[in-house]
Amino acid sequence: CTTTPSRPVANEEVHRQHLASLQTLQAFDLKGRIGVQTQKQGFSGGFTWNHQPATDQVALFSPLGSQVATIDKDPGGVTLVTSDQKTLRAQDAETLTEQNLGWRLPMQGLHDWALGRPTAAPHEAIWDEQGRLTRLKQDGWDIEYSQYQRVGQYDLPHKIYMKSLQLNLKLIVERWNIDDSNDTSALQSKP
Amino acid sequence: DGPERLKAFYQNTVGLKAQFKQTVSDAQGRKVQEVTGDMQLQRPGKFRWDYQKPYVQQIVGDGQKVWLYDPELNQVTVRSLSKAIGSSPAAMLAGSKEMEKSFALQDGGNQGGLEWVKATPREKESGFEQIMIGFKGDQLAQMELLDSFGHRTLIEFSQIERNPTLAAQAFRFVPPAGADVVGE
């Protein structure tokens, strides 16, 4: 695998500053489209995702707007509800989606990656002149960030292509709603 | 009544061209999506839905397969038409025989100046609880889809041309070079 090409140190500083600017982001709500590809099958359609520090709510939609599935994560585990109203539960999203949808949703690191920042695990990164990630290799994933969009004071990804041996995920974020108030009381009041 | 309208629609509408507006609202009635585009259909089994705004997407039924292409995702998802019939209203409109097999038909009464037929999918996995098709006379006017999460998709047709001459090309789909083609 490629080592990080030599970059002027200042650039590293710019990258560090960009990541620091994302530090305050603990919760978000996004709407967009998702493309899922495994060796055998694929899906493409709409998706919404509400992320809070302790919970995640993901919904998948067909092109006709009908809901195909919901994936809800809380400290106790993850629940998947499918369009034929089957409810399935597991300890984590990875095993749950693999058993029922045939592909592993990497929920663990996904919210950091969606924001354009690595998790704490070892990783390799390439960034652009504004310090924004353009390529991130971490936890067996090779993630490309091809477009960013300005959301308030933040630069957040618009188009993300995540590749792993088993699964490719393409995300297009049509709309970000950012909730970066630090005091958790504000978060609690969220419905 | 409704089912009669639908049978008449299948009999005397071999081809169709129209614009559509698709509005999706969630279980609380909040609008979550509005997409516009145009569609064509050619019996049996051929149809094309071109979503234009706010994003581009194409659904093409070529008689055997249903192709779903999202240019921004650069992904083509392919399904066999027979499998798609139960879950894709576009395929349902274009096919008459499969319709009876996949849906139980009932009269949906008159509402909003339209005569409705209620189509309830026979098998659960279609993803829809119920599909309503509304006719003005024997002219297709609206479709309403209710999914098992309470989402309601309303499709309103306009600028309808019945039995226009349609280019066969419209119902052929060739995946663009470089697009990821994925089976379902």
The minimum CA-CA distance between B30 and chain A, rounded to whole Å, is 13
Q: How confident is the model at residue A185 (pLDDT cuts 50, 70, 90)?
A: very low
pLDDT of residue A83: 79
Per the document, the length of chain A is: 191
Q: Which residues of A touch B180 (CB under 8 A)?
A: 35, 37, 42, 168
C-beta of residue A63 within 8 angstroms of C-beta of residue A49: no
CB pair distance less than 8 Å for B151 and A42: no
Q: Which of A145, A120, A141, A150 is nearest to A132 (CA)?
A: A145
Whether B100 has its CB under 8 Å from any CB of chain A: the answer is no
Q: Which residues of A touch B75 (CB under 8 A)?
A: 35, 37, 42, 44, 170
pLDDT of residue A184: 41
pLDDT in tens, A110-149: 999 999 999 999 999 999 999 999 999 999 999 999 999 9
The minimum CA-CA distance between B51 and chain A, rounded to whole Å, is 9
**In the beta sheet, which residues pair with residue B30?**
none
Q: Is B106 left (phi over 0), alpha (psi -120 to 50) or beta?
A: beta
The minimum CA-CA distance between A13 and chain B, rounded to whole Å, is 33
Per-residue pLDDT tens digits of chain B, which is 184 residues long: 888 888 888 888 899 999 999 999 988 999 988 999 999 999 888 999 999 988 899 999 998 999 999 999 999 999 888 777 656 777 778 876 667 778 888 999 999 999 999 998 887 666 788 999 999 988 899 999 998 889 999 999 999 999 999 999 999 999 999 999 998 6
Pairwise CA distance, residues A110 & A89, whole Å: 19
pTM: 0.84
Side by side, which strands form the sheet with A133-138?
A87-90, A77-82, A67-74, A56-61, A42-51, A27-38, A167-179, A154-163, A141-151, A133-138, A123-127
ipTM over 0.95: no
pLDDT of residue A99: 83
pLDDT of residue B45: 85
CB pair distance less than 8 Å for A35 and B73: yes
Q: How confident is the model at residue A189 (pLDDT cuts 50, 70, 90)?
A: very low
Rg of chain B over CA atoms, in angstroms? 16
The proportion of chain A whose per-residue pLDDT surpasses 70, expressed as a percent, equals 88
Whether B89 has its CB under 8 Å from any CB of chain A: the answer is yes
The minimum CA-CA distance between B125 and chain A, rounded to whole Å, is 5
Of A35, A68, A170, Cβ closest to residue B127: A68
Q: Which of B10, B152, B169, B170 is nearest to B92 (CA)?
A: B10
- Rounded to the nearest 5°, which phi and psi values hold at A148? -120, 165
Q: Which residues of B touch A66 (CB under 8 A)?
A: 127-128, 145, 147, 149, 151, 153
CB pair distance less than 8 Å for A84 and B124: yes
